Structure 1
Amino acid sequence: MQRNLWQYLVIRILVGWLLVSIIPALLLFWDFIVTDNILITQINSIIASSGAIVFSLIGLERLTQFPGQKSMVTVLPTLLASGLLAGLILLIFRLPYSVYYLLFSGVLGVVFCFISQVILRAVTRVKIGYVPIGRYQSLLDIKDVTWVQLSKDFQPVSHQDLPFHAVVVDLSDSDLCLGWEQLLAESALQGIPVYNILQVSESLTGRLPIKHLYENNLGSLLPSPSYLLVKRLMDTIVVLFSIPITLPLAILIGIAIKWESRHSNSTILFKQCRIGQGGKLFTMYKFRSMIPNAEEDGAKMATDADMRVTKFGSYIRKTRLDELPQFINVLKGEMSLIGPRPEQLDFVRRFNETIPFYRYRHIIKPGISGWAQVMHGYVSNEDETKVKLEHDFFYIKNFSLTLDLLIVIKTIQTMITGFGAR
């Protein structure tokens, strides 16, 4: 299937650069240009604007490659990050710039990126041909994909004429006969990629199925050692630089919790033993959001409208502000800002016995927020835990700065919307 021109990043960069950087320069600096008297201030501004729009479009391309993402969510954070980066460079090197041009260019950049993503979503509706054997039924439940059922007599005449972008098949199924193999070979010869069902399921759902984990290479789930070091450094820097904001906020939350529980002897902080990297135990800190005797009968999973949660506790759980004291765990090296959520010891013992490969999630540090949290939210039973674990495995396999940045953006969205709070 022939791609739409707008699907090519280089086309979007070229059009964006012309509309956001060049046209505003022509409108505002035309007299200086025709008299060959353009100023260094104007040149710096054009370079800064050009860099910002190129960085934004490349960033959007990278952030929206992950499954289940609505690209519009990432537009403003990406533009803000690129704008701040360009502004910091101008300030650090004390370069003169035009405020009016950069404001005009910035507004056009926001409009262009939103329109660009709308067009991109409209022209990138994925069409996938599938061989109706094996585990194909699970694919048909995946949304935002047009599925085309293949038949053995289908003849892929040419790449352009094929009505789909790829072919998916369960390569491990015994019904994969010679007729299907010839069709797959012909499709590949015509330039249509052929994928195993597990690859497509993972890329479209953001989950790595546990029950088929043996079919994946466990070695591919090993996180990058170099990025682990970079991630540790970034975690420390972010927490230290956020102290002027988080410390006053933490004091206000502590006062509110103490006032709400003024008739009891409950503490402000909730401390609990959790499982960290390598299966090591550590004490995790949270703001208390439940009544003092919430777990006197043992550990329990949170449920919808949980009666143990206090009124103010419901608010800080919804906004994830109850997790703020875990910055202490991050500084101590026990947790990361992004990673699988640390689980309670009782639950870990149970899930190790009932869920295959469950202990593998402890290969990296647990996090305050993570892929499973922003994609699934809290869990209340073992079946939901299995789904959440599949998200954790996807994160470990795709462990990268790009995915971490996307999780940060979606975490902010989660704090605003209260998605998955219990």
Structure 2
Amino acid sequence: MTTEKLPINPARHTRLHERLLLNPVIGHVAGLLFILLGSQIFTFGKITLEYDPNVINSQITLALIYLGYALLSRKLIRFPGGRSIPYSLSISLSLMGLSILVILALRFGYSRSTLFSGFALIIIAQAANFLISRHYRNLKFAWIPYGESIPTFNDTNVVIRALEKPDLETTRYDGIIVDVDQELSNEWLRFIAKHSSTGLPVIATKSFIEALSGKVSLNKLNIHDMDSFHPSQGYQLVKRAMDLLITILILPLITPACIILALVIRLESKGPAMFIQERVGQKNKTFKMYKFRSMRICDDQTPRFADMDQHRITRVGAIIRKLRLDELPQFINVFTGHMSLIGPRPEQPGFVEKFEEEVPFYSYRHTVKPGITGWAQVMQGYATCTESTREKVEHDFYYIKHLSLWLDLLIIIKTIRTVLTGFGAR
């Protein structure tokens, strides 16, 4: 009777003008025409059928960028943060940058005025879509306020209203939220059954909180949930192939920077440029993880949280930590197969033993390969105590449960933001 997924678009708008305004196909056709015809006006001063191969190439490029943005946006809005304008802009700007690289690399003819005016129109179309979404595409849910409470979220696209009685009255909703573990009166059960039979989604409170927070609550986990923490073997093979391809392409590019960094680290303080430490990876197997050294050498190898060693961080170390450059040697770990580009961060064996005693189901985060970056890092930053580690595991479980190409892509976008802003630097 209940569903784990939140609807992507509001279902409550059933009036004709609402269906026309909010229909995604109509909206994307209108957006595409706006971009293609607008770029023609910028180029020729009018709409024309005049044949110019450079203009045609540019307009095909604009159409592919817009359609790529439409597809990716639809996939990413399923995840927390996927609806925000910064990530929508990140997708468009990335596609624009990629298209320019392809055009220059393959020496395609193009019209500069058509292409760059089209880029500006794509941004304008996105802004218009964002404004429409804020007013009309927000999701409105009726909450049966018994059992688990719902925390406050910063997501402006979601409106939650607590019901005082089993009656929606004249208000239209996109779903009903209910704690399925809570015993309800027959009156509420009849209310749920009635609206569920009309097609109105009924969403478990646990699933609703998970969808908006990007975390799987450890307090609500039980042994029956463990089946969802075994990701698709097919995608893991694809992921490994992508890891290898990207690493082979990137290693030659970053090698000169790594050599310079290693020299600077050696010149600033005594000790090796590389820091090698044993970590726990997939299937609880240990491996040697490589990083650039960012701290002064210490003989005490007792596992401890990063914030306890702040006094040992060197000046160069502070910079490379903030920019995540200390992680660059881990591309070697990705190449050898011990790590992936994206996944839960690997922990020291001493920490793993401690967390397994304190955090239930902790070992399930080792069902996938650890990563250079991950969902917990871009959503939370680095853990500094057992409580924040518990929250990190909740983020890791969300990643494992929803592991897909689209979530990995969103993590890449968020990682770029993390590097640029220094979020979570320790």
Using structure 1 for the length normalisation, give the TM-score: 0.89
Q: How many Å apart are 1:15 and its aligned residue?
A: 2.3
* Partner Cα distance (2:225, 2:46) in 1: 62
Q: How many Å apart are 1:55 and its aligned residue?
A: 1.2
Seen in structure 2, the aligned counterparts of structure 1 residues 268 and 109 have a Cα distance that, compared at 3 Å, is same
* Partner Cα distance (1:253, 1:55) in 2: 37
Amino acid at match of 1:360: Y
* Partner Cα distance (2:272, 2:108) in 1: 52
* Structure 1 stretch displaced more, 350-359 or 366-375: 350-359
Q: How many Å apart are 1:26 and its aligned residue?
A: 4.6
1:44/1:96 contact within 8 Å kept: yes
Instruction: Give the structure 2 partner of residue 234 of structure 1.
Output: 242
2:312 matched to 1:316? no
Instruction: Give the structure 1 partner of residue 293 of structure 2.
Output: 288
Candidates 384, 388, 401, aligned match of 2:388: 384
Q: How many Å apart are 1:12 and its aligned residue?
A: 3.1
Classify the secondary structure of the residue corresponding to 2:164. Answer: coil
Post-superposition Cα deviations, 1:4-35, rounded to whole Å, max 9, x if no partner, equal 566543233122201111232255357793xx
Instruction: Give the structure 1 partner of residue 7 of structure 2.
Output: none
Write out aligned runs for 1:250-265 (5 A).
250-261=258-269, 264=270
Instruction: Give the structure 2 partner of residue 368 of structure 1.
Output: 372
Seen in structure 2, the aligned counterparts of structure 1 residues 24 and 68 have a Cα distance that, compared at 3 Å, is closer
Q: How many Å apart are 1:127 and its aligned residue?
A: 2.6
* Partner Cα distance (1:12, 1:237) in 2: 36
Structure 1 outlier segments of 4+, above 4 Å: 3-7, 29-32, 84-95
Classify the secondary structure of the residue corresponding to 1:151. Answer: coil
* Partner Cα distance (1:327, 1:398) in 2: 24
* Structure 1 stretch displaced more, 176-185 or 322-331: 176-185
Q: How many Å apart are 1:296 and its aligned residue?
A: 0.2
Write out aligned runs for 1:183-262 (5 A).
183-214=191-222, 217-261=225-269
Seen in structure 2, the aligned counterparts of structure 1 residues 345 and 31 have a Cα distance that, compared at 3 Å, is closer
Instruction: Give the structure 1 partner of residue 40 of structure 2.
Output: 25
Instruction: Give the structure 2 partner of residue 67 of structure 1.
Output: 80
Classify the secondary structure of the residue corresponding to 1:211. Answer: helix
Write out aligned runs for 1:20-419 (5 A).
20-29=35-44, 33=48, 37-69=50-82, 71-84=84-97, 86-87=99-100, 96-135=109-148, 137=149, 139-144=150-155, 145-154=158-167, 156=168, 161-174=170-183, 176-214=184-222, 217-261=225-269, 264=270, 266-293=271-298, 296=300, 298-303=302-307, 306-419=310-423
1:152/1:179 contact within 8 Å kept: no
Amino acid at match of 2:153: I
Q: How many Å apart are 1:77 and its aligned residue?
A: 2.9
Classify the secondary structure of the residue corresponding to 2:381. Answer: coil
* Partner Cα distance (2:22, 2:78) in 1: 12
* Partner Cα distance (1:60, 1:48) in 2: 18
Amino acid at match of 1:16: G
Post-superposition Cα deviations, 1:21-51, rounded to whole Å, max 9, x if no partner, equal 1232255357793xx6523443333222212
* Partner Cα distance (2:406, 2:415) in 1: 14
* Partner Cα distance (2:383, 2:135) in 1: 34
1:6/1:120 contact within 8 Å kept: no
Aligned residues: 409
Seen in structure 2, the aligned counterparts of structure 1 residues 215 and 26 have a Cα distance that, compared at 3 Å, is farther
Q: How many Å apart are 1:91 and its aligned residue?
A: 6.5
What RMSD in Å do the two structures reach over aligned CA positions?
2.4
* Structure 1 stretch displaced more, 266-275 or 139-148: 139-148
* Partner Cα distance (1:124, 1:15) in 2: 17
* Partner Cα distance (2:292, 2:101) in 1: 35
Q: Percent identity?
A: 38
Q: How many Å apart are 1:365 and its aligned residue?
A: 0.4
* Partner Cα distance (1:410, 1:31) in 2: 40
Post-superposition Cα deviations, 1:240-284, rounded to whole Å, max 9, x if no partner, equal 2123431122122212211210xx3x1111110000111111000
Instruction: Give the structure 1 partner of residue 28 of structure 2.
Output: 13
Seen in structure 2, the aligned counterparts of structure 1 residues 115 and 305 have a Cα distance that, compared at 3 Å, is farther
Seen in structure 2, the aligned counterparts of structure 1 residues 285 and 388 have a Cα distance that, compared at 3 Å, is same
Classify the secondary structure of the residue corresponding to 2:151. Answer: helix
1:57/1:113 contact within 8 Å kept: no
2:229/2:364 contact within 8 Å kept: no
Q: How many Å apart are 1:317 and its aligned residue?
A: 1.1
1:166/1:194 contact within 8 Å kept: yes
Seen in structure 2, the aligned counterparts of structure 1 residues 255 and 76 have a Cα distance that, compared at 3 Å, is farther
* Partner Cα distance (1:183, 1:322) in 2: 56
Classify the secondary structure of the residue corresponding to 1:2. Answer: coil
Q: How many Å apart are 1:94 and its aligned residue?
A: 6.3
Q: How many Å apart are 1:239 and its aligned residue?
A: 1.7
Seen in structure 2, the aligned counterparts of structure 1 residues 95 and 382 have a Cα distance that, compared at 3 Å, is same
Q: How many Å apart are 1:340 and its aligned residue?
A: 0.3
Seen in structure 2, the aligned counterparts of structure 1 residues 274 and 43 have a Cα distance that, compared at 3 Å, is same
1:9/1:58 contact within 8 Å kept: no
Q: How many Å apart are 1:97 and its aligned residue?
A: 3.2
Post-superposition Cα deviations, 1:138-168, rounded to whole Å, max 9, x if no partner, equal x1333334321113342x35xxx43432211
Post-superposition Cα deviations, 1:196-248, rounded to whole Å, max 9, x if no partner, equal 11110110100111222227632222111111111111112212212343112
